Amino acid sequence: MSMVEHWIGGERVSSGAGFTDLSPIDEQPVAQVARGGEREVRQAVAAAKAAFPAWARTSREERARLLHAVADGVERRVEQLALLETTDNGALLRSHLRGVMPRVAHNFRFFADWLLGLKHDDFETRGHTNHVSWDPAGVCALITPWNAPLMLATWKLAPALAAGNTVVLKPAEWSPLTASALADITAEAGLPEGVFNVVQGLGAEAGAALVDQPDVARVSFTGSVPTARLIGAAAARHLTPVSLELGGKSPSLIFADADLDLAVDLAIEQYDNAGQVCLACTRLLVAEEIAAQFTERLVDRIGRLRQGDPRDLDTDLGPQIHRRHLERVDGFVRRAKAEGARVLAGGGPNEELGGLYYRPTLFTDVPDGAEILREEVFGPVLTLQTFRDEEQAIELANGTSYGLDALVVTGSPERAARVTPRLVAGTVWVNCFFVRDLRAPFGGSRESGIGREGGTWSFDFYCDVKNTVSAPWAK
């Protein structure tokens, strides 16, 4: 089995150590991966720093052209990348083919085009002209999660490169393969050496070293709250700005006037990627009047979900990413049972399939304050609570330390207009879910993160925003 090496300064670089990458489909090895640390991180940051001046001076038009060339390369390899990522992280092949990999290409095209239109109108102050510009910040450290590796990497990478920065990407150790494939695509597209670098490794080694580099100008991280605290502390030593997109314990508010068929469809969507989605609205808050009918329909739908090999296009639920993660999910479920929660569906691993497959689970009668209502499980586990009225629904929705997103299902636009401003969330969906436009701001409140990215907000983070004030020129 060949070694997947780092990509540093436009060439493959080996390490003295490696780690084995396992497929969650069958827990069998799929690759040996170079295990980077302080040495490789310093080398990558140095390469990115050396490449920065020329890349920052490259015209907007040329940077945009190269990003479109990268998108072309992704589109030529959609099937290859989709199968590679499904093998590596266990997400559904049909999702990768139909949505995820096309979105990867779109990330590059969108930010390339947004760059060309990025401007702020000049304005006057007592005859003086104010001109706002976005100057590239320098070397950006991007640390990405395992649940949607390439899409979330390019969501950060595309605006960072478009802005004129150079990048060191550290992918998650449980799903590193598509980041390495992307390096080959960028080289083929003509991206200059050192502009994009990939260092693989463990978070405590490569990740920790990367965020503590004094030559890093920005850190963008998607992942857990505990890791974000460590990253924030390290970045603070150098006053490095950070963008943190963290976990969630998001609510679905289903009111009595909701379309029940729609409400059940949206609830089922929360099992997407076997529940390994930060945006999943896993706390179902249902009006008392419709709770029995909604629950009956939902349990029936859960029972009809098809679980199995994610490479089968008819599969609805694949495996958990790793043995350690499955045990973590199962620990939450076991403790919820012990606290008195009642299982309506699932409740444990899928014994028929074995391996890392966990049954889609639904709890009700959960005691107030129970762990399963407060902490992110990041697995196929939903809870169902009822509410009396609008006020209680909002109180329950906001009753966690998170604030990533929320879902409101109602037949009343007036109710939606009352409820949505009172929800603590970076994104609120009304009668829909997972509709993402790259022009919109994205991020979380409370422990769900710091900052917003998307559209101009991405350039605001990845750049030093400058205002140049000019006195009137003598005639």
The dihedral over CA atoms of 286, 290, 295, 296, expressed in degrees to the nearest 10, equals -170
Cα(168)–Cα(216) distance, rounded to whole angstroms?
9
11 has catalytic annotation: no
Which of 5, 245, 376, 453 is an active site residue?
A: 245
User: Is residue 320 within 8 Å of 27, Cβ to Cβ?
Assistant: no
| Residues 6 or more apart whose Cβ sits within 8 Å of residue 139 | 45, 48, 49, 52, 165, 166, 167, 168, 213, 215, 216, 217, 218
Picking from 400, 309, 425, the residue whose alpha carbon sits closest to that of residue 28 is 309
- Edge-to-edge strand list for the sheet holding 128-136: 123-125, 128-136, 463-470
Q: Are 209 and 15 in contact (CB under 8 A)?
A: no
Question: Residues 6 or more apart from 188 whose CB is under 8 A from it?
Answer: 73
364 DSSP β-pair partners: 342
Provide the 3-class DSSP secondary structure of residue 123.
Answer: strand
In angstroms, the Cα distances linking 278 to 59, 380, 444 are 36, 12, 11
Q: Could you report how far apart the first and last alpha carbons of the chain are, in Å?
A: 72
Tokens of 13: 């670089």
Token pair of 422 as six digits: 């009172």
State how far Cα 169 lies from the chain centre: 14
* 278 catalytic per annotation: yes
- For residue 322, the Cα-to-chain-centroid distance in whole angstroms is 18
Comparing CA positions, the residue from 195, 231, 174 lying closest to residue 69 is: 195
- For tokens 């080996």, the residue is 14
- At residue 64, what is the residue type? A
Cβ neighbourhood burial of 236 (10 Å; 0-12, 13-18, 19+): exposed
Q: Which residues contact 344 (CB under 8 A, 6 or more apart)?
A: 295, 299, 362, 363, 364, 384
**Cα→Cα distances 69→53, 111, 191, 407, 449, Å:** 22, 13, 9, 37, 32
Distance, CA of 266 to CA of 250 (rounded, Å): 13
The one catalytic residue in 140, 278, 281, 463 is 278
- Amino acid found at 373: L
List the catalytic residues. Answer: 245, 278
